Amino acid sequence: MAAIERRVSQGMKPNHKKLLRIYREEGLRVRRRGGRKRALGTRRPMVLPDGPNQRWSLDFVSDSLICGRRFRILCVVDDYTRECLALVADTSLSGARVARELTSLIGMRGKPHTVVSDNGTELTSSAILRWSQERRVEWHYIAPGKPMQNGFVESFNGRLRDECLNETLFTSLAHARFVLAAWRHDYNTVRPHSKLGGKTPAEIAGERVWGHAPRHVAIPSNINHERARLYL
């Protein structure tokens, strides 16, 4: 190598084959950089949920304001009730932001057993890996290039785009959030869903019991106030 360096300093061009051979023999190759640490999750076949909060599906949808500025929407859907749990619109949605939104949802609705998503950068970040481990929520990643493995939220995304995004010119991010909130309320509470037997997602969610105790534990008797007792 010293001889080759002297020749190069004198303006001579070394033989590229000899140079490559010496680099190989001396082990002077530049080591390839390894990929960053990603959340792995599970990829085994999934069974259909039989109750709310058993499985949530996540995905992103993008659109733009009339000024041309792009923004993204985080969509969260309950696979059993078909209920849209969240539509979070912002110009940037990092893995840490997704984790915060999921934590907020858990505070309102309880913890899901499984979360399903694709292999996007935000959803395979260390923030999501740490969140799923701390909350003890199983995270399932669909196979790359197989969006229909996340068919519930993909179907929802198509409806959201056809009925809301493609029909509205958003003047600002605040306007987009307002329109999305109104559409989400209509989707969850007003319109019937063919896969739910003509009921709305909110009605299906209301039929299920949230928490550990049944909705009506006992009915008080009004026959005699002094001898009041509970009929189970």
Encode the chain in three state secondary structure: CHHHHHHHHCCCCCCHHHHHHHHHHHCCCCCCCCCCCCCCCECCCCCCCCCCCCEEEEEEEEEECCCCCEEEEEEEEECCCCCEEEEEEECCCCHHHHHHHHHHHHHHHCCCCEEEECCCCHHHCHHHHHHHHHHCCEEEECCCCCHHHHHHHHHHHHHHHHHCHHHCCCCCHHHHHHHHHHHHHHHHHCCCEHHHCCECHHHHHHHCCCCCCCCCCCEECCCCCCCCCEEC
Mean pLDDT, residues 82-109: 95
pLDDT on residue 211 = 39
**Confidence class of residue 66 from pLDDT cuts 50, 70 and 90?**
very high
Q: Is the pLDDT of residue 232 over 60?
A: no
For 5, 13, 29, 32, 222, the CA distances from 24, given in Å and listed in that order, are 17, 19, 7, 15, 93
- Determine if the pTM surpasses 0.75: no
pLDDT on residue 104 = 95
Tokens found for residue 178? 């307002």
pLDDT on residue 225 = 38
For the stretch 145-179, pLDDT in tens is 888 888 899 999 999 999 999 999 999 999 999 99
Q: Is the pLDDT of residue 68 over 70?
A: yes
pLDDT on residue 154 = 93
- Alpha-carbon distance of 80 to 181, in angstroms, equals 21
For the stretch 8-63, pLDDT in tens is 555 556 666 777 777 777 776 666 665 555 555 555 566 677 888 899 999 999 99
Residue with tokens 């912002």: 90
pLDDT on residue 46 = 62
Give me the phi and psi of 84, to 5 degrees please. Answer: -80, 110
More confident residue, 164 or 221: 164
Tokens found for residue 88? 């979070």
Mean pLDDT, residues 122-127: 92
For the stretch 70-80, pLDDT in tens is 999 999 999 99
For the stretch 178-215, pLDDT in tens is 999 999 999 999 888 877 888 888 888 776 544 333 33
- Amino acid at position 159, single letter: R
